Amino acid sequence: MSILDWLKRATSGEQLLQDGGGQPQATFAKGEEEFHGLNMREAIDAHIRWKTRLQDMLEGNSDEQLEVGVVAADDKCTLGKWLHHEAAKFGNLEEFRELVSIHAEFHLTAGNILAECHRGEKEAGLYMLHSRDFRFCSDKVQLALVRLYAKVRS
């Protein structure tokens, strides 16, 4: 399904097809993936991978040296850099402001989970990671990005 079809189905509350990892599948048609200097596929995939990265940290299966302050910052990842620079031209759009806010919330949540890991509170971190709140934050980032995309493209 194209990214715009995915958005229509997601915002209608319709059950979306899921891949093996439980993520809604969206296929980008030719020309859809690039969005004013941002590769949408890479940005969405990077945020989906946070769950695996954090779980690996909590379970001791990662050699990554993640810092809470970096993970919690909303301007260090590819999407965050884009939002705070290239995409700032969309600052007058409600969809942009919503994405910036939701993206910041996501990174604060991920940073809190990592902080639990660094404190040795792995059970608390795993509970937070598998909570509805974390999944909801992740999904909201993806949906808000696609909403901004649809608004700008319309």
Nearest by Cα to 4 from 40, 28, 22? 28
CATH number at residue 45: 1.20.120.30
- Residue 73 inside a domain? The answer is yes
Mean pLDDT (the chain) is: 86
**Model confidence at 31, in pLDDT bands (50, 70, 90)?**
confident
Residues in CB range of 2: below 8 A, 6 or more apart? 26, 27, 28, 29, 32
Over residues 43-60, mean pLDDT = 92
Residue 153 has pLDDT above 80, yes or no: yes
- Residue 2 inside a domain? The answer is no
- Residue 54 inside a domain? The answer is yes
- Residue 144 inside a domain? The answer is yes
Parent domain of 48: 34-153
- Residue 140 inside a domain? The answer is yes
CA distance 151 to 147: 6
pLDDT value for 18: 44
- Residue 16 inside a domain? The answer is no
- Residue 15 inside a domain? The answer is no
- Residue 24 inside a domain? The answer is no
The total domain count for the chain is: 1
pTM equals 0.82
Q: How far is CA 141 from each of CA 58, 120, 138, 153, rounded to the nearest angstrom?
A: 23, 28, 5, 18
